A and B are shown apart, each in its own frame.
Chain A
Amino acid sequence: MYGLFLRHFYLITRSFPRVLDLVYWPTIQITLWGFISNFFATHTTYYNNAVGVILTCAILYDFLFRTSIGFNMLFLEEIWSRNFTNLFIAPMKIGEILTSLVATALIRALIGLIPAVLLTSPLFGISILDLGIFLFFLFLSLYLFGITLGILVSAGLLRYGPSFENIAWSTMFLLAPFGCIYYPIEILPELFQKIAYLLPLVYIFEEARNILINQTVDIQNIYDAFIWNGVYFVLSIALFYYSFNVAKKKGTLINMGE
């Protein structure tokens, strides 16, 4: 029994991502649901049409989640199938690899999104299309942030190898409390608000609620979301190239499939 305990103990203590994985799941869940409970306890009249707003935000968040996880899955599947080395010895530029993953991730996310959008109307009498033409910009912004997170996680996989996999599954949950998906930013403590304003998510979800509840459009929110998306997207590409070069120095690429 002690031997089996030791086997898992050694595994956990030798991998920082695994330790992080143990710590932050409960932390994130408590933080996220704490803010949601706090909001509903103090703002019971905020949503006149709570189901519609919450469901719309849930669909938007799921699109983001699917895009990001979809991107990570494409990368992870090559590691799991031990095909990783084959891909990286094929004559493809890093830019070509990223472009093909970005396009494939979009198709995967749309395949998941379309049935969800179609189901909300007959089941709940709600149409996400109520967001109008601005829905396209919100989705585009979420897609950009989703693939940005995917590229960042893939950079981590290149740099640290398969042990970074757990992070791949949890990035979205880590950001969820700061994204203000189900509650307005004012519900967050001041420090968290400052962090949230550095992410495009808060502008996207604030604007979605603004359109649905106030029936007005604040272009500045959409603009700010794109600005932050641009910043993080460029950073993620730079980090991916950096990680590729580090992997070539450290030998991660040749050991990835083993």
Chain B
Amino acid sequence: MKNLVEVKNIKKNYGKNEAVKGISFNIKEDEILGLLGPNGSGKTTTIGMLLGLLKPTSGEIFINGQKLEGNRIEILEQINFISPYIELPKKLTVKQNLTVYGKLYKINNINERIEFLSEKLRLRGLLNSITGELSSGQKNRVSLAKALINEPKVLLLDEPTASLDPEVGDFVRSFLEDYKKEKKISILLASHNMNEVNRLCKSILMMKDGIIIDKGNPEELINKHGRKNLEEVFLKLSRSKNELN
């Protein structure tokens, strides 16, 4: 499996504050990589750099073999993002929002794509609803449809199931598993839901204070740290001094 995402020693400073202190990692195709860490550990900054919203102070990012710097537009055509902190225009209907983003991503058969996604994400009955009037779970599925409108090769997920009830959360996780398997895409999942990470991710990066302090698959990490589950590993690493440098 080839690496769709290659991050090489990226750093990000805000003035004297070093938010990310030189991290490197790869994400293979058909892989979900979990990005864990306490608040302020540098996860959002890392995602921002992968999206081209933040310029790394140093280091390089390659997406599908192309260097991000200098190829931002071509790379943005191949990636997408979902976060509870960003929303779609509330006054537009679901279909209007998806059509707008279909146009922005230069999708040829927008109606077909919307039809496909609305079927997969249980949105068929909601296409003419006003986006701002939907429930959290419905909005989440619409955001996911927007994030998949361009058939991204790389999907960046920041807390994709935050504030969802268990049924909708489970639906979204199952959908992501199936979609990844079917399309062989790479997913970076930043989450504080350890059960979610345990279920979806074969490999995990633990970040703290801007560096990767540990990595491995969930089982390895649990055994290595002598804990019962991933949540306990997270707590141990969050409270301890940095293990790796």
Q: Which residues of A contact B104 (CB under 8 A)?
A: 87, 90-92
Q: Which residues of B contact A257 (CB under 8 A)?
A: 85-87
Q: Would A83 and B89 count as touching, CB distance under 8 A?
A: yes
Question: Separation in Å of the B71 CB from the closest CB of chain A?
Answer: 11
Q: How many residues of B contact A (CB 8 A)?
A: 30
Tally of A-B Cβ pairs under 8 angstroms: 75
Q: Would A91 and B45 count as touching, CB distance under 8 A?
A: no
Alpha-carbon separation in the docked complex, A248 to B53 (Å): 6
Question: Separation in Å of the A93 CB from the closest CB of chain B?
Answer: 6
Q: Which of B45, B48, B88, B105 contacts A83 (CB 8 A)?
A: B88
Q: Would A82 and B55 count as touching, CB distance under 8 A?
A: no
- 1/0 per residue, CB under 8 A from A, across B80-93: the answer is 11010111111100
Q: Which residues of A contact B101 (CB under 8 A)?
A: 86, 90
Interface residues on A, range: 20 to 34
Q: Which residue of A lies closest to B72 (CB)?
A: A91
Q: Which of B55, B86, B105 contacts A248 (CB 8 A)?
A: B55
Q: Would B53 and A90 count as touching, CB distance under 8 A?
A: no
Q: Would A82 and B85 count as touching, CB distance under 8 A?
A: yes
Q: Which residues of A contact B105 (CB under 8 A)?
A: 90-91
Q: Would A86 and B88 count as touching, CB distance under 8 A?
A: yes
Question: Separation in Å of the B105 CB from the closest CB of chain A?
Answer: 6
Within 8 A of B (CB), among A55-111: 77-78, 81-93
Q: Which residues of B contact A258 (CB under 8 A)?
A: 85
Alpha-carbon separation in the docked complex, A245 to B53 (Å): 10
Q: Which residues of B contact A91 (CB under 8 A)?
A: 73-74, 76-77, 104-106
Residue A250 at the chain B interface, CB threshold 8 Å: yes
Alpha-carbon separation in the docked complex, A84 to B77 (Å): 17
Question: Separation in Å of the B79 CB from the closest CB of chain A?
Answer: 8
Q: Which of A92, A93, A249, A254 contacts B44 (CB 8 A)?
A: A254
Listed in ascending order, the chain B residues whose CB lies under 8 Å from chain A are 14, 44-45, 47-48, 51-55, 73-74, 76-77, 79-81, 83, 85-91, 101, 104-106, 146
Q: Which 7 A-B pairs have the closest CB atoms?
A: A91-B76, A254-B48, A90-B104, A248-B55, A253-B53, A82-B87, A91-B77
